[in-house]
Amino acid sequence: MIALKKHDRKGRLIAVEGLDGSGKSTQIYLLKRWLELEGYKVFFTEWNSSVVVKSATKKGKKRQLLTSTTFSLIHCTDFADRYERQIWPLLCAGYIVLADRYMFTAFARDSARGCDPLWVRNMYSFATVPDITFYFKVPPAVAIDRILESRPTLKYHEAGMDLNLSQDPYQSFRIFQGMINDAYNKMSREFNFTTIDASKPVDVQQKRVRRVVQKKIDLPAYKLKARSIV
């Protein structure tokens, strides 16, 4: 088994993981707002958002040029770009870095797509594991309903259509999300996820998230110093 390393830098890395529609993006947004308003050094980064890699990813997805291998590689490239230019330097600089999705998303999705799990894990092994990983756990049916309610046209890869699970995008999405859900549950113990019950009200979840952050991170050490100069 390939060992993933834990960083020794001053900064702290918090990641959120969970199914599409689990509400994790809302939760990390609220966490970010809180940390910002309290005057902490905080930086937010999102899955699949590197500017350099984006045009290639977009092209690949639109024209369905991606296989499971290139899908996996291009997402890791995107991740590496953000990791090398932002996440890692900021951890060195003593920031609290918030990541909406992290390597576990790739572990779950790429394995579902048929990539060898060890190959994928090796690929991401240049990066540190987070200090806290929140896993927003929700019954797949609930997450699926939330997504299907608000956004009725599913994108090709989002629905897992490339896996040939079903001709019907909705059915394919359901099966695919079920596979991802199983993968998350399996990783939960190994990577020490902090599980949040994502079927609870938003503010109840957020209260729990903030409590965990407060307990695990010595927040006063992350106050913005520049402020005193102003």
Q: How far apart are CA 60 and CA 73, in angstroms?
A: 12
Stretch that binds another protein, among 13-21, 73-81, 170-178, 187-195 (CB under 8 A): 73-81
Provide the residue type at 153 as one letter.
T
- Residue 52 near another protein by CB under 8 A: yes
Smallest distance, another protein to C-beta of residue 105, A = 16
Q: Is 130 helix (H, G, I), strand (E, B) or coil?
A: coil
φ and ψ of 133, to 5 deg:
-120, 115
Sheet with 12-18, side-by-side order of all strands: 42-46, 96-100, 12-18, 132-137, 194-197
48 near another protein, rule: CB under 8 A: no
- Selected from 4, 26, 49, 73, the binder of another protein by CB under 8 A is 73
Looking only at residues 118 through 157 of this chain, which bind another protein when binding is defined by CB under 8 A?
A: 119, 122-123, 125-126
Nearest distance, CB of residue 36 and another protein, angstroms: 27
> 88 vs 95, which CB is nearer to another protein?
88
Residue 4 binds another protein, judged by CB under 8 A: no
Q: Which part of the chain contacts another protein (CB under 8 A), choosing from 28-36, 50-58, 177-185, 198-206?
A: 50-58
The single residue among 4, 30, 56, 142 that binds another protein, judged by CB under 8 A, is 56
Q: Which of 6, 33, 46, 70 binds another protein (CB under 8 A)?
A: 70
210 interacts with another protein by CB under 8 A: no
37 CB burial (10 A radius; 0-12, 13-18, 19+): exposed
Q: Residue 128 corresponds to which amino acid?
A: T
Tokens, residue 89: 């330097």
Task: Specify the pairing of strand 96-100 against strand 12-18.
Answer: parallel
Closer Cβ to another protein, 25 or 125, answer by number = 125
**Please, what is the minimum distance in Å from the beta carbon of residue 121 to another protein?**
9
110's CB contacts (< 8 A; 6+ apart) are 68, 71, 72, 75, 117, 120
Q: Are 68 and 117 in contact (CB under 8 A)?
A: no
55 interacts with another protein by CB under 8 A: yes
Query: CA-CA distance, 107 to 64, in Å (whole number)?
Result: 21
Contact footprint for another protein (CB under 8 A): 52-53, 55-56, 59-60, 65-70, 73-74, 76-77, 80-81, 83-85, 113-116, 119, 122-123, 125-126
